[in-house]
Amino acid sequence: MPLYTFICPKCKKTFDHNCSIKEYSGKAKHEECGTISEQREYQNIGVMVDIGPRTVGSLAEKNMKGKSEDELDALWRKQNDYRLEGIDKLTKKRQK
């Protein structure tokens, strides 16, 4: 059953209201002072989702699955060319 947190407009205290989603009306009575509140307090919550490992290697491995040998070869060449371009740029900067 959900727990809804409200802010009392009269005394400014927060209080919890426990009811089912069907019963929820958007209003709750603060038991301490008897005031009806429509002002909810929203809090950040964390949600854990299992998406597996998050390392660069595991992502690369996942992306490589299902690719043909030609596609893998093209990706390897592209990566190697990119790496060599970076090395060339560094070499040129050092020579200046």
pLDDT tens for 62-95 read: 778 888 999 988 888 888 888 888 877 777 777 7
Question: In one letter, which amino acid is 53?
Answer: P
Do residues 39 and 11 lie in contact, with contact meaning Cβ atoms separated by under 8 Å? no
Mean pLDDT score, 33-37 = 93
In percent, the amount of the chain with pLDDT more than 90 equals 30
Average pLDDT of the residues of the chain = 84
Is the pLDDT score of 15 beyond 90? yes
b/e map of 59-77 (b: 16 or more CB within 10 Å)? Answer: eeeeeeeeeeeeeeeeeee
pTM for the full predicted model? 0.44
Mean pLDDT score, 39-63 = 75
CA separation, residue 56 to residues 35, 62, 63, 79 (Å): 54, 10, 11, 15
Domain that holds residue 16: 3-37
Q: How many domains does the chain have?
A: 2
Say if 46 falls within a structural domain.
no
Identify the band that residue 49 occupies on the pLDDT scale cut at 50, 70 and 90: low
Say if 52 falls within a structural domain.
no
Say if 80 falls within a structural domain.
yes
Is the pLDDT score of 8 beyond 90? yes
Structure tokens at 51: 């998406």
